[in-house]
Chains A and B, each alone.
Chain A
Amino acid sequence: MATVSFKNVYKKYGDQTVVKNLNLEIKDQEFIVLVGPSGCGKSTSLRMLAGLEEVTSGDIYIGDTRVNDMPPKDRDIAMVFQNYALYPHMNVYDNMAFGLRLRKYSASEIDRRVKEAAAILGIEHLLERKPRELSGGQRQRVAIGRAIVREPKVFLMDEPLSNLDAKLRVQMRAELAKLHQKLKTTCIYVTHDQTEAMTMGDRIVVMKDGVVQQVATPSELYNNPKNIFVAGFIGSPAMNFIDCTCIKENDEVCLVNEDGFKFLINDKKLADKLINYHNKKLVFGIRPEDVRGVPGESSKENCQRVRVDVVENLGSETLVYVSFGKQTIVCRFMGSPKHKVGENITIALSPNRYYLFDKESGVSVID
């Protein structure tokens, strides 16, 4: 068990920088998730920590030891790979025992650890099988078992669930979370799936183009995204964005655009702040669940007349895609569908649960 820290870490391939100035302090026993679209540098960061990629500049520490120049075998880490990376010519038992044998553990100790891990993962009956005789889910368990038996300081997981089918993924997600509670080993988990990140991480690191966008707990990330990328990446369906201009007329601050969008800022403090943005471009963001349907042709504040384009019935809730002008918005309504495609309805945007971003920099205007 150990802390992990990245200090001013850069990774360059030729003149392409894939990780830019990564600074990250990971606490002991923490489950931290690196998330971002493909090519954002999350896997590279993990592989640098594992020692499979060289660090171009900066320092990586596991505990108090600087590990930059340490080969992977001396770092006391265990890694679970996306494609399981089992040794195809060894049976399950040997796959799990391999790392221990290399480290010269006694046969009885190896046997004890392998059996124990197999019991935790429910794969005792598979120990004699070769990897090719296992299903995807079973292989993934073996890969995890191989990591567990080592009892390392840090677990590294590189998209371990992305090769599994949807149902198995949800199941393994819960099992991994449970496993972490049991073992309490520091765990660094890479994924491109924001749902996995949200459900598993103690803290989440959102990355894009090699740069960390935000490090925060799941709820903070959801409620206070620092910029437009994080806002759009976290949450499903994604947040709605409406390009608009901030104007001040009389004593009111409004957001308007040419599609007929009009949103009145009620919050006095925010309105004062937005004076600086008079006539400037902003992006208004609202999550699908913060949009309500309103009966009739209400002309109240922050209501919008829209046309229903698509209705998706998910059983417990309904996603309704509506449009006005060139703008499309997803709304999440509880219960089964009440609207028909082509119908005109009125929606109300929540007056206090919305987000505002600077159009140019993408940074949140609300703090």
Chain B
Amino acid sequence: MSTGKALQQSVMQQPEPGNSPKAGGRLARLFRTENMMLAPAIIVLASITIFPFFYLIYASFMNYALAIDDPTFAGLRNWVRLFKDPAVAHSWKVTLIYAVAGLALELVLGVGMALLLYSTPWGRNIFVTLWMLPIFVAPVVAGLLGWFLLNSSYGLYAWILQLLGLNIDIFGNASTALPAVILIDVWEWTPLITLIVLSGLQSLPTEPLEAAEVDGASYWQKLRYVILPLSARIIVVALLIRSMDIMRFIDKIFITTAGGPADSTKIIGMRLFEVAFRFMDIGYAAAIGLSMLFVTILLGQAFVKVMYGR
């Protein structure tokens, strides 16, 4: 009670931001009540992300193998290797195909489904719930499901394909494995795009849409000239979230193909995992990880520009 009162008083005594006295100086301002209240969160955040981040930078300049006793300084060797390694370049290429194809499919299907659900006059909640089911499934389970369904010996889909005369081992074939993991990702994450875009659609002002109707717009014209421009931002947000995740989430690939066959599904995250925990080369893995972070930040920046640049 007394502390509560004291807190209340100190909050109430805070000067207005505009005319805070200079006399207290920076230190006094640093220890203001609100900063003190934020401190625990910042400390936790620092210990779980900021420290590891700097440690990662440190590791990327070291010869750092889990097996050997002490890391030794390696200079720029890991970084030079990163840019020269054909395996890493290949992984980035696979990542690009995987991400672009996956995102494109998820975008088209997700937005299309959101528009359908948006104009469903009844039972929208039931359809949304059904459509959302894949998100609720653990990614590993999604991978396992894909594995079982497409497995050449006992998979349901593989069996159907065989009935159609396509007798192939989907995960065992370099040309079909990548499309297969892309489709599993699409199956799992399209609903997320739908969910985000649908929430954006539902918060659209109704009056401009009605105005467009009165102005003479058909459904497609309304969609093209009013609905999509107004929900462009939320679509970009959905894409941003997905594009960051699609590089990092390796669970499905880990379960189904483990990057093979012939590295055809080895996206950069999978490569990182392999370097770190199969080859135990933590220093090199740190450099790969930092390059992924860099690309992610660039992507994020690009999306933010698209969103607010106009």
Q: Which residues of A contact B (CB under 8 A)?
A: 50-52, 71-73, 77-79, 81-89, 98-99, 102-103, 146, 150
Contacts and interface: CB of A to CB of B under 8 A. Distances in A.
Contacts of B226: 87
Contact of A146 (B215, B221, B230): B215
B6 interface: no
Given A72-B210, A87-B211, A102-B217, 9 more contacts: A51-B213, A73-B216, A79-B214, A81-B207, A98-B215, A98-B225, A102-B221, A146-B211, A150-B215
A99 B216 contact: yes
Contacts of B205: 83, 85
A87 B230 CA distance: 9
Nearest to B225: A98
B229 interface: yes
Contacts of B210: 50, 52, 72, 79, 81, 85
B300 to A, nearest CB: 24
A199 B240 CA distance: 54
- Interchain residue pairs A-B with the least CB separation, the first 3: A85-B207, A99-B215, A73-B216
Contacts of B208: 85-88
A81 B207 CA distance: 7
B212 interface: yes
**Most chain-B Cβ atoms within 10 A of its Cβ — which of A79, A86, A87?**
A87
A86 B210 CA distance: 10
Contacts of A72: 210, 213-214, 216
B229 A89 contact: yes
Interface string B207-244: 11011111111100100011001100000000000000
A56 B216 CA distance: 23
A139 to B, nearest CB: 12
Contacts of A51: 213-214
Helix, strand, loop or mixed for chain A's interface?
Answer: loop
Contacts of A89: 229-230
A78 B208 CA distance: 13
Nearest to B213: A72
Nearest to A78: B214
A71 B213 contact: yes
A105 B221 CA distance: 16
A37 to B, nearest CB: 22
28 contacts: A50-B210, A50-B214, A51-B213, A52-B210, A52-B213, A72-B210, A72-B216, A73-B214, A73-B215, A73-B217, A73-B218, A78-B215, A79-B210, A79-B214, A81-B207, A81-B211, A84-B207, A85-B210, A85-B211, A87-B225, A88-B208, A88-B230, A89-B229, A89-B230, A98-B225, A99-B214, A146-B215, A150-B215
A77 B215 CA distance: 8
B210 to A, nearest CB: 5
A188 B241 CA distance: 48
Nearest to B206: A85
**Most chain-B Cβ atoms within 10 A of its Cβ — which of A72, A78, A84?**
A72
A233 to B, nearest CB: 27
**Most chain-A Cβ atoms within 10 A of its Cβ — which of B210, B215, B226, B230?**
B215
B3 to A, nearest CB: 45
A146 B225 CA distance: 16
Contacts of A50: 210, 214
B26 to A, nearest CB: 38
B111 to A, nearest CB: 17
**Most chain-B Cβ atoms within 10 A of its Cβ — which of A51, A52, A86?**
A52
A79 B217 contact: no
A102 B205 CA distance: 21
A209 B205 CA distance: 27
